[in-house]
Amino acid sequence: MPERIVTVNVYAKILAVLLILTATTCAVSYIDMGRMNLVVMVLIACAKASLVALIFMHLRYSRHLMSIVAVGALFWLGILVALTLGDYLTRGWQ
């Protein structure tokens, strides 16, 4: 399968975005938003991970099978989180 060529320019832009997001994370940690701090940081982290997977790891330019694999892996992580929370959220004694 011929690989779509991604220009260095695109990589550079994505790198810049990633660095800005990292700076944002740092900045957010200085603002006290209570529980929302965590939410914002996780959202930023997810955005960064998506960029890396889609662009740097070429998921955007690959066959659908690759996306299925990636989503499947996330789903598997979801199983871990869901059943573990199934424990923590139903503990009568806590």
Q: Which residues bind other proteins (CB under 8 A)?
A: 72-73, 76, 79-80, 83-84, 86-88, 90-92
Nearer to other proteins, 2 or 72 (CB): 72
For residue 44, the minimal CB distance to other proteins (Å) is 21
For residue 66, the minimal CB distance to other proteins (Å) is 12
Nearer to other proteins, 9 or 90 (CB): 90
The total number of residues shown for the chain amounts to 94
CA distance 43 to 26: 14
For residue 42, the minimal CB distance to other proteins (Å) is 17
Nearer to other proteins, 32 or 87 (CB): 87
Q: HEC states along the chain?
A: CCCCCCCHHHHHHHHHHHHHHHHHHHHHCCCCCCCHHHHHHHHHHHHHHHHHHHHHCCHHHCCHHHHHHHHHHHHHHHHHHHHHHHHHCCCCCC
For residue 92, the minimal CB distance to other proteins (Å) is 7
